[in-house]
Structure 1
Amino acid sequence: MTEGQNPFDALGAGGFDMNALLQQAQQMQEQLQEAQQRLHDSEVEGTVGSVTVKVNGVGELTAVDVQPGSFDPHDTESLSDLGDMVVAAYRAAKAEADSMATEALGPLAGGLGGGLGDPGGAPGQAPGQLGF
């Protein structure tokens, strides 16, 4: 290759098309934003015993419902059980929300590497694992 020659000239007319690449990246970003909004607007429940919690599709806790009369507010053990049930119900709902997010975002995250969900990339993707 001679000095000053564009290395992409060798690709010819059907080679590297920056505009097409940018357009595809913008479409992927729009699809990703739409999927994230759908997840934020969705809701899943987790129930353990007499406790039901609701989380949105991104795992944010939105509601906790405890059936009236199911716990004694003056009994330490009963209140401890209530706390344990809230935690367990949240974990169940969060697992379902994570699964929903993986299903919704997985196809969009395939070539993006990091930046989605967990620090390592797409939800369910091992930290440091690249999507390409």
Structure 2
Amino acid sequence: MTQNPFEALGAGGLDMNALLQQAQQMQEQLASAQAALAEATADGTVAGGAVTVTINGVGEVTNVAIKAGQFDGSDADDLSDLGDMIVAAYRDAKAQADALASEALGPLAGGLGGAAPGQPPGQIGF
């Protein structure tokens, strides 16, 4: 057994400058991908377009559109159905936003010890 654990890396040892430079590049790529996601949008639609929810790439709701004439506001059942449809449309949009995030951040997450090659990346906290 050797005294220096870095001897196995070769004559030059561990190149900290190269490692720090690579980490800085990854951090810049991650910031760029996150900024692009914040600008991206995804629409979730249910009931043939009766309800559409738009969210940005980080999961924030930016718009809810309800097609005129689809719901009677005086009927409690219709209002309950409307609430359910808004939730379903949000979930549809969120699934699309998650796919965008996986596409944009997946390669970066893999470089940070993320999913094994050939495996889908995990969710990125939203």
Answer whether TM exceeds 0.5 for this pair: yes
CA distance in 1, matches of 2:106, 2:85: 31
Give the whole-Å Cα distance in 1 for the aligned partners of 2:35 and 2:123. Answer: 16
Deviation >4 Å, runs of 4+: none
**Secondary structure of 2:44's aligned partner:** strand
Q: Secondary structure at the match of 2:111?
A: coil
What RMSD, in angstroms, separates the aligned Cα atoms of the two structures?
A: 2.2
2: distance between equivalents of 1:73 and 1:113? Answer: 51
C-alpha separation in 2, matches of 1:90 and 1:98: 12
Deviation at 1:111, TM superposition (A): 3.1
Instruction: Give the aligned residue type for 2:38.
Output: H
Whether 1:78 aligns to 2:75 is no
In structure 2, what is the equivalent of residue 54 of structure 1? 54
Match of 2:118 in 1: none
For structure 1, the residue ranges without an aligned partner over 5 or more in a row are: 115-120, 125-132
- Per the normalisation by structure 2, the TM-score is 0.81
Question: Matches of 1:47 and 1:8 in 2, distance apart?
Answer: 56
User: 1:44 corresponds to which letter in structure 2?
Assistant: A
Cα shift readout 1:38-86 (whole Å, capped 9, x = no counterpart): 0111001011120000011121111100012211111001101111110
Greater relative contact order (Cα < 8 A, sep 6+): 2
The within-5 A match list for 1:21-100 is 21-49=19-47, 50-100=50-100
Sequence identity, in percent?
Answer: 62
When normalised by structure 1's length, the TM-score is: 0.78
Q: Is the 8 A contact 1:106 1:123 kept in 2?
A: no
Kindly indicate which of the two structures has a greater share of residues assigned to helix.
2
Name structure 2 gaps, 5 residues minimum.
115-120
